Chains A and B, each alone.
Chain A
Amino acid sequence: MTESKPQEPTPQDLGFFSRIAHPGYFLEWSRYFIWPLVGITTILMAYGLYLAFFNSPADYQQGETVRIMYVHVPSAWLSQFCYAVMAIAAIGSLVWRHPLADVSAKAAAPLGATFTAIALITGALWGAPTWGTFWEWDGRMTSTLIMLFIYMGIIALWRTFEDQVRAGRIIAVITLVGAINVPIIKFSVDWWNTLHQPASVFRLDGPTMPPSILLPLFVMFFAFSFLFLLLHFISMRTEILRRRARAIERQYAQQLRTQKP
């Protein structure tokens, strides 16, 4: 989109979706979303943290460590949601070859890796007092770790390509292959885990949570989701601007070269 374009359609000529997805127009309209999103995220995060730290009971078995869950569970959810965003963006870059889809996929990868890492680290910190060990080859933890590896591979791949437009489409292929594989990996790890580790670990039962724990979890869940949305917007904008800067640099270099002789 930043490469030389002979006739750029003005945003008004296009349909609604093409218009909001036009990179230039995206920069326009997303600008008005940043500060409201910052506000919503801050309020939700502050309220959620207040509930989590001061206005929710300590668990009668786990004690104060149950509060780690308010960070852990939303991160774990986002680690999977990010991949879904990347997979949908990958379809966008392969089917419609849309530059904004590339940008969206590229921006989501480091966010997904970060949330996965947060989920793993908070999980380990919670595991140390509760299970007595930082790491257990538990099915869920193992597949989250593999998820992190997949994110890291994709980020590493983004960094090796010089031509980011071509990179977007090629990485879309591997993202989709990964998307097919993630459920298989999850299943196989669960299966492997039941084979090799017959001792069952203590698990928090979902539906029996009291509302005093459920409410902060709910608020933090939305706070993290809005945080992701905000960060995704910002890094998409940054990526578009970075590509433009690169294109301008390249144009300038070409001008210099043609002027010289």
Chain B
Amino acid sequence: MKPFLAMLTRDMKLATRIGGDSLTVLLFYIMTGAIMPFAIGPDKDQLAQLGPAIIWISALLSLLLALDRLFRMDHEDGSLLAMRQASLPLEMIVVAKICAHWVTTALPLIVATPVLAILLNLEIDQTLRVIFTLLVGTPALICFGAIGAAVTVSIKRGGLIAPILILPLSIPTLIFGVSAVSSGAIANAQDAALLFLAGFTLLSLVFTPFAAALALKMAAE
């Protein structure tokens, strides 16, 4: 447990100190959400209706933007090779990195969501629901992002390739995340979507560490 915590604190420190871009991602999130009304129009009812979708899309894009720093720096300066010699298996190191990444990128977004909700004219209970679905769903997005980041870690050129790989895989999260908030012709569909979202997150948490660690091992060979 001690090396795990050491890994966790190391990554959180790196993300929050000079050169870390937690704040940049947060700004990107707010700006993406705030720029949508310029394309859609300032109609309040329409914005309220599209609000949850806009928030989810903004979160997805912001998290994609932040992915590159998950493994790349450690791969380039050789820390990842050193970590493979640690007493902690690489899979657990990936888990620690995912947790730290979630705390430093996804959590600020979720905390800032009320600001976006006010801009988009969402009701209080809908805002709370969006926040809750983001809490449940963002770990899945980070997990798939981690796989994408691990697969592309050894590619020097081609920073755009990871989002291309991840976007199709994050469609289920997006579907269940937005369905858990907004409407639905079928009764109880929201709760069902929330449960599916939670299940999907748990599933991705189970297989991501193994897949990402495998990809990292292959990349270092």
The residues of A with any CB-CB pair to B shorter than 8 Å are 94, 146, 149-150, 152-154, 156-157, 160-161, 166, 169-171, 173-174, 176-178, 180-181, 184-185, 187-189, 191-192, 194-195, 198
Contacting pair B151 A180 (CB below 8 A): no
| Contacts A166-B221, A174-B147, A198-B185; A150 near B175 (Cβ below 8 A) | no
Which among B144, B155, B179, B207 is the interface contact of A192 at CB below 8 angstroms? Answer: B179
| Extra contacts besides A174-B147, A192-B179, A195-B184 (4): CB < 8 Å | A156-B161, A166-B219, A166-B221, A177-B207
Question: Chain B: which residue is nearest A93 at the CB level?
Answer: B218
Residues of B within 8 A of A184 (CB): 172, 200, 203
Look across to chain B and name the residue whose beta carbon is closest to the beta carbon of A145: B168
User: B164 in the interface, Cβ–Cβ < 8 Å?
Assistant: yes
Pick from B151, B169, B184 the residue with the most CB of A within 10 Å: B169
Cβ-defined partner of A157 (8 Å) among B151, B189, B218: B151
B184:A188 contact, CB within 8 angstroms: no
Once the chains bind, are B155 and A177 in contact (CB under 8 Å)? no
Is chain A's interface secondary structure helix, strand, loop, or mixed overall?
helix
Q: Which residues of chain A have C-beta atoms less than 8 A from B155's C-beta?
A: 160-161
- The number of residues on chain B lying at the interface, defined by a beta carbon within 8 Å of a beta carbon of chain A, is 35
Is the Cβ of A188 less than 8 Å from the Cβ of B171?
yes
B166-184 contacts to A (CB < 8 Å):
167-169, 171-172, 175-176, 179, 184
Chain B CB within 10 Å, residue with most, of A157, A161, A177, A192: A177
The CA-CA distance from A180 to B184 in the complex, in Å, is 27
Q: Is B154 an interface residue (CB 8 A)?
A: yes
- By Cβ-Cβ distance, the 8 closest A-B pairs, closest first, are A188-B172, A160-B158, A169-B218, A149-B168, A153-B165, A173-B215, A192-B175, A153-B164
Task: Show 28 A/B contacts (Cβ-Cβ < 8 Å), sorted by A.
Answer: A149-B164, A149-B167, A149-B168, A150-B168, A153-B161, A153-B165, A156-B161, A156-B164, A157-B165, A161-B154, A166-B154, A170-B154, A171-B151, A173-B147, A173-B215, A174-B215, A178-B169, A180-B207, A181-B169, A181-B172, A184-B172, A185-B172, A188-B171, A188-B176, A189-B171, A191-B175, A195-B184, A195-B189
